[in-house]
């Protein structure tokens, strides 16, 4: 069986090649229609057929990837603001010859703890995060030396060296924040998968983050979800209906999706949609 893997947030999903008519870049040009289903984001014409489009991010993750990305950008902006506040507080303590009441131990830095534990599938973003460590550690190290200069009665020299830090390690840190936020926004290039039930006409469209790879699997490679549900692992009905099993990849699992099990909005139903218990694997 030939499958194609797609990325949806931190999850990987698989669809049979025979279930796919076409993939195309999402241009945010859907026709909105009233509907109570949060995952239904609009209609797009395909082969002169109004086709409902569903956001798989909302179905699988309870939040669209775009909203998740915006939240992550806001998080980076928050950490960036804290670094500005820390640096300005250091500058003010030198100017006013007052104690610096912020942390200067890199091991106790909440920001350092955060970026050290940060995980992402985005390799470029992960590389940017890794680069935070050196300028951030240098800033903390230099801050202790500047504080010692002030204590020894040399605030002017401390200010001179602080300006050097402003134009080097501090600015490098700020540029990395901007690069990280830009990477998050630019990396998101969602696509619509137009699916089919008969191999000719569109059934629904699914919004996903990106195409990953093609894989070939045998029926015995598909692990059922029974064990998850038997131990009380709750899955909402819409998601459960379309999940047909787990596929073991190299370092993770992919969820096999049956797009025919996702209902069409009532106002678009021109034919009865069958939701079968078994997915035709072969």
Give the class (CATH, top level) of 2-63+190-268.
Answer: mainly beta
pLDDT greater than 70 at residue 278: no
pLDDT of residue 190: 95
Residue whose token pair is 């290039």: 189
Q: What's the pLDDT tens digit per position in 53-111?
A: 999 999 888 899 999 999 999 999 999 999 999 999 999 999 998 999 999 999 999 99
| Residue ranges of domains in the chain | 2-63+190-268, 68-187
Mean pLDDT of 113-136: 94
Q: What's the pLDDT tens digit per position in 10-34?
A: 888 889 999 999 999 999 889 988 8
Same fold, 2-63+190-268 and 68-187: no
Mean pLDDT of 276-281: 43
pLDDT band, residue 279 (cuts 50/70/90): very low
pLDDT of residue 233: 42
pLDDT greater than 90 at residue 184: yes
pLDDT of residue 237: 62
Q: What's the pLDDT tens digit per position in 224-272?
A: 766 554 434 445 566 667 777 787 776 777 888 888 777 554 444 444 4
pLDDT of residue 226: 66
Residues ≥6 apart with Cβ < 8 Å to 262:
54, 59, 204, 206, 238, 241, 242
Q: What's the pLDDT tens digit per position in 196-227?
A: 988 888 999 999 999 988 877 777 777 776 65
The CATH number that domain 68-187 falls under is: 1.20.120
pLDDT greater than 60 at residue 275: no
Q: What's the pLDDT tens digit per position in 126-180?
A: 999 999 999 999 999 999 999 999 999 999 999 999 999 999 999 999 999 999 9
User: Which one, of 204, 214, 212, 209, lies nearest residue 191 by Cα?
Assistant: 209
pLDDT of residue 82: 97
pLDDT of residue 106: 94
Whole-number Cα distances in Å, 45 to 6, 175, 204, 267: 22, 42, 11, 15
């Amino acid at each position: 069986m030939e499958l194609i893997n797609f990325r949806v947030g931190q999850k990987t999903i698989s669809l049979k090649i025979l279930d796919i008519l076409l993939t195309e870049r999402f241009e945010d040009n859907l026709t909105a229609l009233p509907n109570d289903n949060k995952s239904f984001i609009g209609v797009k014409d395909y082969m002169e057929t109004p086709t409902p489009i569903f956001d798989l991010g909302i179905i699988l993750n309870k939040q669209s990837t775009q909203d998740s990305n915006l939240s992550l950008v806001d998080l980076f902006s928050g950490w960036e603001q804290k670094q500005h506040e820390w640096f300005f507080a250091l500058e003010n303590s030198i100017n006013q010859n007052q104690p610096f009441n912020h942390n200067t131990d890199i091991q106790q830095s909440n920001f350092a703890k955060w970026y050290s534990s940060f995980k992402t599938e985005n390799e470029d973003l992960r590389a940017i995060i890794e680069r935070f460590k050196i300028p951030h550690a240098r800033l903390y190290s230099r801050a202790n030396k500047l504080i010692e200069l002030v204590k020894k009665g040399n605030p002017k020299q401390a200010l001179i060296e602080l300006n050097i830090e402003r134009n080097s390690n501090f600015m490098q840190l700020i540029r990395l924040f901007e690069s990280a936020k830009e990477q998050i926004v630019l990396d998101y290039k969602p696509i619509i998968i137009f699916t089919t039930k008969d191999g000719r006409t569109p059934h629904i469209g699914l919004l996903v983050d990106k195409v990953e790879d093609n894989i070939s699997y045998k029926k015995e490679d598909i692990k059922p979800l029974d064990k998850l549900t038997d131990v009380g692992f709750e899955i909402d009905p819409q998601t459960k209906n379309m999940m047909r099993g787990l596929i073991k990849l190299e370092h993770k699992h992919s969820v096999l999706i049956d797009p025919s099990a996702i209902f069409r909005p009532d106002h678009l139903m021109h034919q009865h949609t069958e939701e079968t218990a078994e997915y035709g694997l072969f």
